[in-house]
A = this chain, B = another copy of it.
Amino acid sequence: MRLSRYFLPILRENPKEAEIVSHRLMLRAGMIRQEAAGIYAWLPLGFRVLQKITQIVREEMDRAGAIELLMPTLQLADLWRETGRYDAYGPEMLRIKDRHERELLYGPTNEDMITEIFRASVRSYRDLPKNLYHIQWKFRDEQRPRFGVMRGREFLMKDAYSFDIDEAAARRSYQRMFVAYLRIFARMGLKAIPMRAETGPIGGDQSHEFIILADTGESGVYINSDVLDLPIPPADVDYDSDLSSIIAQWTTLYAATDDVHDAARFAKETPPEKQLHKRGIEVGQVFYFGDKYSKPMKAVVTGPDGVERPVLGGSYGVGVSRLAGALIEAGHDEAGIIWPEAVAPFRIGIANLKVGDAATDAASEKLYGALQKAGIDVLYDDMDERPGAKFARLDLIGLPYQIIIGPKGLAEGQVEVKTRSTGARENISLDAVVNRFAG
């Protein structure tokens, strides 16, 4: 992408309304624009990040055997009355009346609707297990939306729902999602730690939050530092096999949020030198809730014994739009954002330091073409501006690599490659630079 043709509205000033660094940097880097309290437009740079996060989530859900569909944003109030949640939900639910005065709502989550979809066609244990998910915009009418996309009102969530015939099978479904979540966050370059959690408004009796460490995190967390070194299940993990040992490995060491922290247990189970007290951000949560929805909604299946019983369920959320902010909270410096490669909007930025100079233009164009041809996402800064402005902008938007092309280096056949995360710089011959990044 040529910057001259792109739409990248960088802000020069620090926006006053932004209380936390991810919100500030997303606004400054032209990633998002607020359209109403807690409601954002994702500008082109932000949208690219959102797409990359979405794609990783999708690939790992598919790998774990979940099936993607897409439920609508608006739902009938009557559906939520079946589970008693319409009255219970409170003012965070955005309630709507259409032109015929029918009561709708903007879905804050989808347990009720997916159960309705399930019960309409599934009758037998032979059709189980099933895990259905979607990646769709949700709305929660927060009393005080803040922190940008970290606590927005309209937000993008991946939510998956499992259906099983008995508790043993339901536990296996839960474990598959647990393992998929370890992989999802690791692929984004995040250390996400599963922590036993309160079940909250979704209900049920087992739940884990996945929390990444960040100094600006919303909750305090207490962990055994060894949890940071646990291995991530590989891409070829067999989701049909017994995953209990992976789960055991990840749930034995102490890890808890403020809400459920047990200081005595922490002290007892954790050697003093391994006791870490940090701050964290929740990026996903998994729940087992059994027949909480299937029972009132009469979503029953026939077992091998011919007897009908309510199907047992769990739900599994990943905060997709929230992750864009969380990734910045976990990866930034004074100069701006530092994207992990897997979610960077572009992998490389080319800075042409002397637009208008024939040799510099030609070398920049040639490199831009060659990198694109190699299938690399590249942003080519072809604007006629001073080098300082270009360096500041590239640092701000946080692309993993910068290729700096100026007349001086070119005279020696060289360009400079800067790695954003380390600040390391190396001179590479113009001919070698594509091979450095390709393949």
Q: Measuring CB to CB, which residues of chain A are less than 8 angstroms from any residue of chain B?
A: 5-7, 9, 30, 33, 35-37, 39-44, 46-47, 50, 65, 67-76, 79, 91-92, 94, 96, 98-99, 102, 104, 106, 113, 116-117, 120-122, 130, 132, 134, 137, 139, 141, 143, 153-154
Residues B5 and A65 in contact, CB atoms below 8 Å apart: yes
Residue of B nearest to A129 (CB): B5
Residue of B nearest to A1 (CB): B67
Give me 29 A-to-B residue pairs in the complex whose CB atoms sit less than 8 angstroms apart, sorted by A's number: A5-B67, A7-B69, A7-B130, A9-B120, A30-B121, A33-B117, A35-B71, A35-B72, A35-B76, A35-B79, A35-B113, A35-B116, A36-B76, A39-B72, A39-B74, A41-B70, A41-B72, A41-B113, A42-B70, A43-B117, A44-B132, A47-B68, A47-B69, A50-B70, A73-B137, A74-B139, A91-B99, A99-B141, A137-B137
Residues A36 and B75 in contact, CB atoms below 8 Å apart: yes
Q: Note all chain B residues with C-beta closer than 8 A to A44.
A: 67-69, 132
Interface residues of chain A: helix, strand, loop or mixed (majority): mixed
With beta carbons under 8 angstroms apart, the residue of B37, B117, B130 that contacts A41 is B117
Residue from A50, A121, A130 whose CB has the most chain B CB atoms within 10 Å: A121
Q: How far is the CB of A131 from chain B (nearest CB, A)?
A: 9
Bound Cα distance from A143 to B98, whole angstroms: 10
Residues B72 and A104 in contact, CB atoms below 8 Å apart: no
Given contacts A9-B122, A47-B70, 7 further A-B contacts (CB under 8 A): A9-B121, A30-B121, A35-B116, A39-B74, A41-B72, A47-B134, A98-B141
With beta carbons under 8 angstroms apart, the residue of B33, B50, B104, B116 that contacts A120 is B33
How many copies of this chain are found per oligomer? 2
With beta carbons under 8 angstroms apart, the residue of B40, B94, B116 that contacts A72 is B40
With beta carbons under 8 angstroms apart, the residue of B50, B69, B96 that contacts A94 is B96
Residue of B nearest to A5 (CB): B65
Q: How far is the CB of A144 from chain B (nearest CB, A)?
A: 10
Residue of B nearest to A130 (CB): B7
Q: Note all chain B residues with C-beta closer than 8 A to A154.
A: 72-74
Residue from A72, A76, A121 whose CB has the most chain B CB atoms within 10 Å: A72
Residue of B nearest to A65 (CB): B5
Bound Cα distance from A132 to B7, whole angstroms: 8
Residue from A40, A44, A69 whose CB has the most chain B CB atoms within 10 Å: A69
Q: How far is the CB of A119 from chain B (nearest CB, A)?
A: 11
Residue of B nearest to A39 (CB): B72
Bound Cα distance from A216 to B224, whole angstroms: 66
Residues A73 and B73 in contact, CB atoms below 8 Å apart: yes
Bound Cα distance from A252 to B92, whole angstroms: 56
Bound Cα distance from A41 to B79, whole angstroms: 14
Bound Cα distance from A33 to B116, whole angstroms: 10
Q: Note all chain B residues with C-beta closer than 8 A to A36.
A: 72, 74-76, 102, 104
Q: Note all chain B residues with C-beta closer than 8 A to A153.
A: 98
Residues A41 and B7 in contact, CB atoms below 8 Å apart: no
Residue from A50, A71, A76 whose CB has the most chain B CB atoms within 10 Å: A71
The 9 lowest CB-CB distance pairs between A and B, nearest first, are A9-B121, A42-B70, A91-B99, A41-B71, A36-B76, A39-B72, A99-B141, A72-B154, A44-B69
Bound Cα distance from A206 to B92, whole angstroms: 44
Q: How far is the CB of A36 from chain B (nearest CB, A)?
A: 5
Q: How far is the CB of A192 from chain B (nearest CB, A)?
A: 25
Q: Note all chain B residues with C-beta closer than 8 A to A75.
A: 35-36
Bound Cα distance from A5 to B132, whole angstroms: 11
With beta carbons under 8 angstroms apart, the residue of B47, B94, B130 that contacts A98 is B94
Q: Note all chain B residues with C-beta closer than 8 A to A69.
A: 7, 41-44, 46-47
Q: Note all chain B residues with C-beta closer than 8 A to A5.
A: 65, 67
Bound Cα distance from A44 to B68, whole angstroms: 6
Residue of B nearest to A384 (CB): B126
